[in-house]
């Protein structure tokens, strides 16, 4: 990313000073949550509550307006009603704040009038040199350094460990849902972004920046629509080249799903066929269930696609192997049988085995356990791994996909 993009990226995820515009001293309100979340997760920067009704909010001195706040502010989190957002953005412009996150709804997702208000707001911010995250956005999470700038209750309450997974979600509430699934599986996160209506900053732009983020090893997308498709295509191809898989769960396979997406963030979901074609063309893996989102990165991170779909299946039961082989075959994946050399090698290690289109191996109780990836060159240069059906989502990694690891 260029120098200007880096400045915005750092202001979003690693701000030294955060202004909470509309911060509340009432712990029952959503607008009190970002301040608590920041402190709970160990934010070490300066928090500046902005609210003319308070002199102090939870121990931090409050100010009536951004104009009266001291020092330079890197990130303004705007938690005022939609009607007050334009004035708050004007204050960000006057205070030379590089990024403003907008929590309020009532913009593009609310219909033509709201869309017009959003377009006018973006034009005003762009002219004043302020980038916008949102509207209709619940905030962000960065784990290194810690910055839990969000109204999401799950982000406030969960203990999220640092790790390689970055999440960008067009649904604010789903950021918490995805985090809870990942935390339950023991995975760690680098960054989480609620992107909202994408009035200015988009999934595509953030994805492109994350390709250059050393802390991010895989990029997970929860999508209702695809905006700025050319930039997202470029970002996804860059991510593939860098060994960072881009994995997408996208709504809109049904008419009711597309309708709900439009009412939520003003999204035009498009047909499933169009989305699938876009994902395949650019190396984005579309998944069918959220759990798969956390299974794939460990298999794909750091690897590059290959030209062939050749998979070897190894299982401890014939039924299990048959299930996997059948599923792979339905996706057109070439399932290769084990060679005599593989069978002989396993026999030397105490395993009795059967061949066919899969390798069913029965190890004695005293045999050492082997987990993880391993290469079996006797499978005609095919790499084998233990498989479960959801792994077939890798098939959407286009014809350049690495179908076996």
Could you write out the three-class secondary structure of the chain? CCHHHHHHHHHHHCCCEEEEECCCCCCCCHHHHHHHHHHHCCCCCEEEEECCCCCEECCEECECCHHHCCCCCCEEEECCCHHHHHHHHHHHHHCCCCEEEECCCCCHHHCHHHHHHHHHHHHHHHHHCCEEECCCCCEEEEECCEEEEECCHHHHHCCCCEEEEEEEECCHHHHHHHHHHHHHCCCCEEEEEECCCCCCCCHHHHHHHHHCCCCCCEEEEEECCCCCHHHHHHHHHHHHHCCCCEEEEECCCCHHHHHHHHHHHCCCCCCHHHHHHHHHHCCEEECCCCCHHHHHHHHHCCCCCCCCCEEEEEECCHHHHHHHHHHHHHCCCEECCCCHHHHHHHHHCCCEEECCCCEEEECCCCCCCCCCCEECHHHCCCEEECCCHHHHHHHHCCCCCCCCC
Superfamily of domain 3-299: Succinyl-CoA synthetase domains (3.40.50.261)
| Arithmetic mean of pLDDT, 74-93 | 97
CA 399 vs. chain centroid, Å, equals 24
Name the token pair of 281.
Answer: 């063309």
Q: Where in the chain is the domain with CATH 3.40.50.261?
A: 3-299
pLDDT digit string (tens) for 13-54?
999 999 999 999 999 999 999 999 999 999 999 999 999 999
Residue 354 confidence (pLDDT):
58
pLDDT at 175 over 70: yes
Name the token pair of 114.
Answer: 């709201």
Q: How confident is the model at residue 351 (pLDDT cuts 50, 70, 90)?
A: low
Helices 172-184 and 292-300: crossing angle in degrees, nearest 10, is 60
Question: Could you identify the residue written with the tokens 């509430």?
Answer: 173
Residue 167 confidence (pLDDT):
97
Rounded CA separation 351/150 (Å) = 53
Q: Report the DSSP beta bridge partners of residue 143.
A: 146
pLDDT at 229 over 90: yes
Range among 5-14, 250-259, 299-308 rated most confident: 5-14
Rounded CA separation 144/166 (Å) = 12
Rounded CA separation 263/141 (Å) = 26
Q: How confident is the model at residue 104 (pLDDT cuts 50, 70, 90)?
A: very high
Exposure on the CB side of residue 314, measured as CA atoms within 13 A: 26
Residue 352 confidence (pLDDT):
60
Residue 90 confidence (pLDDT):
98
Residue 186 confidence (pLDDT):
92
Higher pLDDT, 39 or 354: 39
Rounded CA separation 143/202 (Å) = 21
Residue 153 confidence (pLDDT):
93
Q: What integer best gives the mean pLDDT of the chain? A: 84
Judged by average pLDDT, the poorest of 96-100, 283-287, 348-352 is 348-352
Its sign, for the CA torsion 145, 150, 155, 159, is: positive
């Amino acid at each position: 990313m260029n120098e200007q993009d880096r400045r915005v990226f750092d202001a979003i995820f690693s701000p030294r000073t955060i202004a909470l515009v509309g911060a509340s001293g009432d712990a029952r309100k959503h607008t009190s949550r970002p301040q608590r979340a920041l402190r709970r997760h160990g934010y070490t920067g300066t928090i500046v509550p902005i609210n003319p009704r308070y002199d102090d909010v939870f121990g931090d001195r409050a100010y009536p307006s951004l104009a009266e706040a001291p020092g330079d502010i890197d990130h303004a989190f705007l938690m005022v009603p939609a009607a007050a957002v334009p004035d708050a953005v004007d204050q960000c412009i006057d205070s030379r704040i590089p990024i403003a996150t907008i929590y309020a709804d009532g913009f593009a997702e609310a219909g033509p009038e709201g869309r017009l208000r959003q377009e006018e707001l973006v034009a005003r911010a762009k002219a004043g040199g302020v980038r916008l995250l949102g509207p209709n956005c619940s905030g962000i999470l960065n784990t290194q350094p810690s910055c839990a700038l969000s109204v999401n209750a799950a982000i406030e309450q969960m203990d999220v460990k640092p790790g390689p997974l970055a999440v960008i979600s067009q649904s604010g509430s789903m950021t918490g849902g995805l985090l809870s699934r990942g935390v339950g599986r023991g995975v760690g996160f680098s960054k989480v972004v609620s992107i909202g209506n994408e009035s200015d900053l988009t999934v595509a732009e953030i994805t492109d920046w994350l390709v250059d983020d050393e802390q991010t090893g895989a990029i997970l997308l929860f999508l209702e629509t695809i905006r700025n498709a050319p930039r997202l295509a470029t970002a996804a191809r860059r991510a593939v080249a860098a060994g960072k898989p881009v994995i997408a769960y996208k709504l809109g396979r049904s008419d009711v799903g597309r309708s709900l997406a439009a009412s939520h963030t003003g999204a035009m979901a498009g047909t499933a066929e169009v989305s699938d074609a876009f994902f395949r063309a650019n190396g984005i893996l579309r998944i069918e269930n959220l759990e798969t989102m956390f299974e794939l990165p460990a298999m794909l991170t750091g690897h590059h696609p290959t030209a062939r779909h050749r998979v070897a299946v190894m299982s401890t039961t014939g039924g299990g192997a048959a299930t996997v082989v059948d599923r792979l075959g339905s996706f057109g994946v070439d399932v290769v049988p084990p060679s005599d050399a593989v069978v002989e090698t396993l026999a030397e290690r105490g395993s009795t085995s059967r061949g066919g289109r899969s390798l069913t191996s029965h190890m004695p109780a005293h045999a050492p356990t082997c987990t993880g990836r391993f290469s079996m060159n006797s499978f005609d240069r095919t790499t084998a791994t233990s498989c479960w059906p959801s792994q077939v989502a890798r098939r959407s990694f286009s014809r350049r996909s690495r179908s076996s690891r």
